Chain A
Amino acid sequence: MPAPVTIEFNDRVVRQFILATVLWGVVGMLVGVLVATQLNFWQANFATSWLTFGRLRPLHTNAVIFAFVGNMMFAGVYYSTQRLVKARLASDFLSQLHFWGWQAIIVAAAITLPLGLTRGKEYAELIWPLNVAVAFIWVVFAVNFFWTLARRREPSLYVAIWFYIATIVTVAMLYIVNHLSLPTSLTHSYPLFGGVQDALVQWWYGHNAVAFFLTTPILGIMYYFLPKAAGRPVYSYRLSVVHFWSLVFVYIWAGPHHLLNTALPDWLQTLGMTFSLMLWAPSWGGMLNGLLTLRGAWHLLRTDPVLKFMAAAVTFYGMATFEGPLLSIKSVNALGHYTDWIIGHVHGGALGWNGFMAAGMIYWLLPRLWDRPLHSVALANLHFWLGTVGILLYLGAMWASGITQGLMLGATTEGGTVLAYPNFLDTLNTIRPLMLMRVIGGTLYLAGFLLLAYNLWRTLRGARPVDGTVEVMAEPAAPDAAGRLGLLATFLNPPVLFSVLGTGFACAWMFGGDAVSVLGIGGLLLSTALALAHWQSRGRAWAGWYDRLLVNSAPFTVLTFIAVAVGGLVQMIPLAVAHKAANVEDRRQVPYTPLELAGRDLYVREGCYTCHSQMIRTLVPDVLRYGDYSRLGESIYDHPFQWGSRRTGPDLARVGGKYPHVWHLRHMEDPRAISAGSNMPAYPWLLVNDTDVAALPGRLAVQRTLGVPYPEQSPAEVLAQVDRQARAIADDLRAAGATVEPGREIIALIAYLQRLGRSEEVGAARPAQ
């Protein structure tokens, strides 16, 4: 028997991540309050391009997701993993590289986004060199984590570790696929996918960033810190097993619910809606295991701010994961989509679930990492109440605002033939008070978080950092030969076989021809029945196999990856292999002229998509307000797609030709000169800056590589074409009494806006399925 030794955990990196969490949390929330203020008071855009809503909103979302929750996740994962597997983090160097690399990326993002350097896809705005850096640092994280697992002295993996594994492999997959792009310069690129494909990939990523960046790692953190803080056993191990696997499998399929009632093919919308509903119970499994673990410890909530925060966080998680499936029902979505309801929904998760879990975890960790009691429990309690009231004000305001605006936008009169509120601004100005209430709620929440920062500072001041230790055997536990799962045993066992059969038959039923689909539904029902029967009689064998799987981290990781990969593949492959030009319904987009493309790049740079959609849904009020509903083919050459997710302003899919050039000029210069009561920022610099025409030949070449049918043109020909179109627009403006040089950015933007909605009719081609 080897002698026991004491190992010291690497808690230094945990402390670093905690401090970064608080710093970036304050920054991210501060920017959030600023952008919310801008929606009420356009003056808060400060008449400088760096601080307009369109550029700061991406900064807010990226800061909160990747900087605040990212750092919090790394702190929680590193702290709990070392203890759960009884091993120090594998490499101090990789830990430091991870920490400093991640902070460098955040700083770079905070500089590039206000400069207007963006990819124009939500939560995926960072430019391509930063994408490479994120992927690299994520791999560093993965190596450090799995290397630590390999050196573990605790053979069996606890449920928190399952969630961490799912997080690491899935975020890597999502991030890499959604960031595939072709660079045109060091700071600019076009995404590989365009139009509907880009939309599908984006929301596969966007939805599952919520799932695997904001949910699964935090569930893992909950499974460690909540029973620790409550001193109670976890409620149900088997619920952990069932909800973990159902959650990671089902989540991936639900992405298309962000694109309901759009030009996305119906079958994908159906998948998005039905799988979102199936996600309800798996999500609530996590909530149940959290809340029911507190049974017998509820009295502690009165005194312990840690448990207060965590119990509220899990409750908000349950609320948001009920609201999500509800909003995924097509008819509910018709009302809520593009409105503040969605903003409220996401903040229920971000402020309630993520923010409160972060607070609970930090209050729990501070005394343990710095060897000193928390400076003030009373301040922590005050933080809790400020935060809770802030969230409730925020969510209440957004529900009322979203439903009000949704109802007004959809209201018709005269027997349903005419819009009741034809002027979009009427609907915006109705929700102004609610948008103001949101600012107040957000400010209260930020004030609470500042109390945490103060409490942390007072606790740390003069305190001594302390690293945790554990006593273990000198040698890592030798893998038990009997417990090791080979390739065969990983796959050839009842749970995996029945899952593969069920999924295969289900896909055959959904996507097969007549005979295959009948076979598929029969097989699905039969394999489900067989699986139930087998589980009833041989349940112990299933459990025994799973116990063995838990001591085999590599097979566990492989199976997790397969479970999360299926949904994306089934949805993306049919759209990717379908020939683009044939997959257009009855309209095909006319490629932009070079000047229009330059204008589109400006539209992306200014973040117009944060407030304007380019997608007229298959809904009567949308058609009455904006024109014929958008067809799939009308954006196939859009890299990136700009369908949008929130209509603070009206849809722009068919704005081309609706107003004269001079209308757009005056409107961009001073929106309120044209639309009294508008909250849109002014863009005076567009009238002064020159369009970067020198970059156009290179950008066109990349577009051609991506499959946009541009003719081969010499740079001189491109510039001549740009010049001709720009002069025509400038001439028209002069005739209307406005003098603008043809080389200015506003000319390119007008050229782009005026062609929105132009397409050519093509023979009816059925979208491939």
Chain B
Amino acid sequence: MTPLPPEKSEEDRIRPHVYDGIQEFDKRLPNWWLYTLYLTIVFWVGYWAYFEWFRAGPTSAQEVGAELARIEAARLAVAQVDDPTLWQMSRNPAITAAGRAVYDANCAACHLASLRGKAESPVAIGPDLTDNVWVYGGRPVEVHALITKGVLAKGMPTWGPVLGPRKISEVTAFLLSRHREGDPIVLQPPSTP
């Protein structure tokens, strides 16, 4: 039997210096620790080379730009809405219930839960949505377009990008459910304060 080689004496030797009673070993650095360090350094070289040196990857702006273009295309593809469809949707309880939820979460703050806005309370921000007076047109597609685009000057936010076409159709249908097809439309041009 060959004797075991001497223990790694270099490692277990305590350094000669003592600081206020504190001694120090001088153990080797753990290999997994060293390789972690090397690996992250190699990653830095590779990542920088790929994105900043060769510019092989997209910039942040290019990346988000491409994604947004894809989203716009998808939205345009389903953007067709017309008056008969919206009236039909307004008679579908499942759709108007979904529209009610969208309304409560996003519209009721200004137009109030009753939809009656300023007609109910003078401090309300939005106008009445239940009467026959319309400021920007009362045809279903006009209402739909107004919600989508908003009227920034009057405080109506642009809901299109936030809610998306489906939710806007639902909330339009919900509003229409409070009206009847064929009701008179009284146009009142916007006031300028």
Contacts and interface: CB of A to CB of B under 8 A. Distances in A.
B162 interface: yes
B170 to A, nearest CB: 12
Contact of A417 (B36, B75, B158): B75
A274 B70 CA distance: 30
A284 B29 CA distance: 12
Interface stretch (A99-107, A237-245, A555-563, A699-707): A237-245
Nearest to B27: A236
A281 B24 CA distance: 21
Contact of B40 (A277, A413, A736): A277
Given A414-B166, A416-B71, A624 B161 contact: yes
Contacts of A763: none
A292 to B, nearest CB: 8
Q: Quick one: which of B40, B152, B157, B167 has the most chain A CB within 10 A?
A: B40
Interface in B6-62: 14-15, 17, 19-30, 33-34, 36-37, 40-41, 43-45, 47-49, 51-53, 59-61
Nearest to A667: B109
A282 interface: yes
A419 interface: yes
Nearest to B58: A266
A233 interface: yes
Contact of A663 (B30, B74, B75, B110): B110
B60 A731 contact: no
B93 interface: no
Contacts of A417: 71, 74-75, 164
Contacts of A658: 152, 157-158
A277 B43 contact: yes
A238 B13 CA distance: 13
A674 interface: yes
A270 B47 contact: yes
Nearest to A511: B52
Contact of B64 (A159, A620, A732): A620
A161 to B, nearest CB: 9
B15 A237 contact: yes
B53 to A, nearest CB: 6
Contacts of A228: 20-22
Given A281-B33, A426-B105, A662-B125, A415 B27 contact: no
B60 A618 contact: yes
B126 to A, nearest CB: 9
B71 A620 contact: yes
A266 B51 contact: yes
A483 interface: no
B149 to A, nearest CB: 13
A629 interface: yes
A422 B40 contact: no
The 10 closest A-B pairs by CB, nearest first: A660-B155, A418-B164, A281-B37, A274-B44, A233-B23, A735-B193, A236-B27, A618-B60, A158-B19, A83-B20
A737 interface: yes
B15 A270 contact: no
Contacts of B17: 156
A280 interface: yes
Given A414-B165, A620-B71, 20 more contacts: A80-B20, A228-B21, A228-B22, A233-B23, A236-B26, A238-B27, A281-B33, A281-B36, A414-B164, A417-B74, A417-B75, A418-B163, A422-B162, A509-B53, A619-B64, A658-B157, A660-B125, A662-B123, A663-B109, A675-B109
Given A417-B71, A663-B125, A675-B109, A266 B52 contact: yes
Contacts of B34: 281
A236 B25 contact: yes
Contact of A277 (B33, B44, B105): B44
Interface of B: 14-15, 17, 19-30, 33-34, 36-37, 40-41, 43-45, 47-49, 51-53, 59-61, 63-64, 67-68, 70-71, 74-75, 105-106, 109-110, 122-123, 125, 152-155, 157-158, 161-167, 193
Given A83-B20, A282-B37, A284-B33, A732 B25 contact: no
A552 to B, nearest CB: 15
Contacts of A80: 20
A288 interface: yes
Contact of B43 (A261, A274, A288, A517): A274
A512 to B, nearest CB: 10
A510 interface: yes
A674 B109 contact: yes
22 contacts: A158-B19, A228-B22, A236-B25, A236-B27, A236-B28, A238-B28, A242-B29, A267-B52, A274-B48, A282-B37, A414-B74, A417-B75, A418-B166, A422-B106, A509-B53, A618-B61, A620-B64, A623-B64, A629-B61, A662-B125, A735-B193, A737-B123
Contact of A239 (B15, B29, B153, B161): B29
Contacts of B63: 618
Nearest to B44: A274
Contacts of B164: 413-414, 417-419, 422
Interface in A736-752: 736-738
B60 A261 contact: yes
Nearest to B160: A418
B71 A659 contact: no
B52 to A, nearest CB: 5
B32 to A, nearest CB: 10
Interface string A271-288: 001110110111011001
A284 B36 contact: yes
Contacts of A282: 37
B166 A623 contact: no
Contacts of B44: 274-275, 277-278
A224 to B, nearest CB: 7
A720 B118 CA distance: 34
Nearest to A736: B125
A484 interface: no
A625 interface: yes
A281 B21 contact: no
A154 interface: yes
Contacts of B193: 731-732, 735-736
Contacts of B25: 233-237
Q: Quick one: which of A159, A227, A292 has the most chain B CB within 10 A?
A: A227
Interface in A218-251: 224, 227-228, 233-240, 242, 246
Contact of B123 (A619, A620, A666): A666
A672 to B, nearest CB: 10
A282 B33 CA distance: 9
B45 to A, nearest CB: 8
Contacts of A509: 53
A373 interface: no
Nearest to B61: A618
A227 B152 CA distance: 66
